[in-house]
Amino acid sequence: MSTVIDSPEIGSTAADAATPEFFTGSTTDFFSYEDLLTPEERQLVAQARAVFERDVRPVVAEHWNNATFPFEIVPALTALNLVELCARGNNFLLHGFMTLELSRVDASISTFVGVHSGLFAAAIAQLGTDDQRERYLDDAISLRKIGAFALTEPEHGSDVSRNMETTATRSGDSWTLNGVKRWIGSGTFASNVLVWARDTADDQIKGFIVSAALDGFTAEKIENKIALRIVQNATITLENVVVAERDRLPGATSFRDTNRLLTNSRVWVGWQTVGLQFAAYDCALRYALDRQQFGKPIASFQLVQEKLVRMLENATTSLGTMVRIAQLQQTGTLRPEHAAMAKASASTRMRESVALGRSVLGGNGISTSWGMARIFADAEALYTYEGSYEINTLVVGRAITGISAFQ
């Protein structure tokens, strides 16, 4: 995985922007995992990496500081066909490397793409009708209309499958939805939202494609976040929102169907944690080679080198895990506990890696002007969402003991 860092964060010095001549990727993809891709696939990754560096990196720092979304980069993302690659699920390893590279540039933009493609578009592709795919997928794949995924509620996250309060009541050829959803990524500007609600007739969880223009639908931005500040999370309120039966996902008749999507979403978050680890490593290595103390680069000190090596070890180990996960996806043998272990393991290593990177930058590590603070903060969101570390470990624990630690 080559690294091109030619756009410094806002406020960084010219020295901070300098990239060592040899810093071309040989020390990042340490075990050459990218060689498992075909030459054509490696070329697609290289093209995507170039777009991310040219169009995404220069703008994300300011938008992160201001908690705004860079709509200006959407055409560049559209051209890479990232949504269809994820939604169709035809090449999991290629999609993983694409997610890694985008996360390496910015975790918020990677989250935006992941939610839209891996949760909203994928749900329609996998669980929808031919009519729904015809009406919604083209606009989703082209990013003409953004989709969101509304599962979590103010009082229910990990236990939402059993305690969901949002309800759906059928009357003839329509459903009436009532409830509140929280932490909904892109919820402030999404055209359509996939809302999960409990059927008052059979108590099963079902999915509905809900237009944000419907009466009774409101979205309020969640303010004052310390992570993924570019992602426009919303609290969504549904007050007697009437949805046509033709917009109910027929492939989602219980939470088991929803869980299939969540298993794959844990995988792409696992790839995100790898990208964020490499982002921290990139930033720390560049800084260590340039920063002078006691008359020489701090990269020459043993303690700094140990931190850099540990970061690379963590990232490389996590990458190896995710490569194997992609292989299991490709053969159709991935189990929920596989995804849970991968996400738990990679996110734990990520948390250590970004902390080590922040310490390499010393005091500059807490300023967003140097890049590392954004990486450090974003890691906290990845550690928690799409299944917290604790819940994922309990999913694995249930698989290996046969005993569930939660109901």
Nearest to 375, CA basis, from 351, 398, 393, 399? 351
Burial label for 377, CB within 10 Å (0-12, 13-18, 19+), is: buried
Find the helix packing angle between 92-105 and 107-114, rounded to 10°. Answer: 140
Task: Please state the CATH superfamily assignment of the domain spanning residues 147-254 in this structure.
Answer: Butyryl-CoA Dehydrogenase, subunit A, domain 2 (2.40.110.10)
Alpha helices in 1-56 (DSSP H): 14-17, 39-51
pLDDT of residue 3: 38
- The number of angstroms, rounded, from the C-alpha of 33 to the middle of its chain's C-alpha atoms is 21
pLDDT of residue 75: 95
Q: What does the alpha-carbon distance between residue 36 and residue 41 come to, in Å, rounded to a whole number?
A: 9
pLDDT of residue 252: 85
Q: What does the alpha-carbon distance between residue 209 and residue 127 come to, in Å, rounded to a whole number?
A: 11
Contact 286, 23 (CB under 8 A): yes
Q: Which two structure tokens, joined as six digits, stand for 14?
A: 């010219």
pLDDT of residue 248: 97
Domain extent listing, the chain: 147-254
Q: Which two structure tokens, joined as six digits, stand for 198?
A: 């409990």
State phi, psi for 156 to the nearest 5 degrees: -140, 115
Contact 153, 183 (CB under 8 A): no
> Over the chain (407 residues), what is each successive 10-residue block's mean pLDDT?
38 37 55 95 95 96 98 95 85 96 97 95 94 96 96 90 94 98 97 97 96 98 97 98 97 81 90 97 96 96 97 97 97 95 97 98 94 97 91 94 89
pLDDT of residue 157: 84
Q: Which two structure tokens, joined as six digits, stand for 99?
A: 């997610």
pTM beyond 0.85: the answer is yes
Nearest to 129, CA basis, from 256, 295, 9, 245? 245
pLDDT of residue 27: 62
Nearest to 116, CA basis, from 153, 144, 79? 144
